[in-house]
């Protein structure tokens, strides 16, 4: 999490906060493999906890968190990024999956 926040600050010239969004599209570090690595990390931790503790409540929470996150990214964040970064974001979105990291990193020109 710390490294991704650092990327937003150093490369993106902004933060995760909606009142101070990045000025540049961040497609370095874990963002070369997955568009939302922090959310993927949270989902992975919740899934592992649900299995480890054999706890259906944690599993339900993970699924609810996944649905809410998907709706938020699909209807709010991705359209906002499209408006701010245009074709650069279109290309990025075309080559980098939303949740499940790909093995080969995205390279942009």
pLDDT digits (tens, 9 = 90+) for 12-43: 999 988 889 999 999 999 999 999 999 999 99
* pTM beyond 0.85: yes
Instruction: Classify residue 81 as exposed, middle or buried by CB count within 10 Å of its CB (0-12, 13-18, 19+).
Output: buried
Give the count of beta carbons closer than 10 Å to the beta carbon of residue 84.
14
Who contacts 81 (Cβ-Cβ below 8 Å, separation ≥6)? Answer: 25, 89
The predicted-structure confidence for 43-67, as pLDDT tens digits, reads as follows 999 999 999 999 999 999 999 999 9
Distance from C-alpha of 42 to C-alpha of 11, rounded to nearest angstrom: 23
């Amino acid at each position: 999490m710390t490294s991704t926040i650092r990327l937003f600050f150093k490369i993106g010239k902004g933060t995760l906060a909606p009142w101070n969004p990045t000025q540049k599209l961040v497609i370095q570090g874990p963002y070369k493999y997955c568009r939302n690595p922090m959310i993927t990390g949270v989902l992975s931790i919740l899934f592992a906890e649900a299995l480890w503790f054999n706890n259906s409540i944690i599993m339900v929470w993970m699924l609810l968190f996944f649905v809410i996150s998907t709706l938020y990214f699909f209807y709010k964040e991705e359209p906002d990024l499209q408006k701010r970064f245009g074709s650069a974001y279109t290309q990025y979105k075309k080559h980098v999956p939303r949740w499940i990291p790909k093995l080969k990193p995205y390279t942009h020109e």
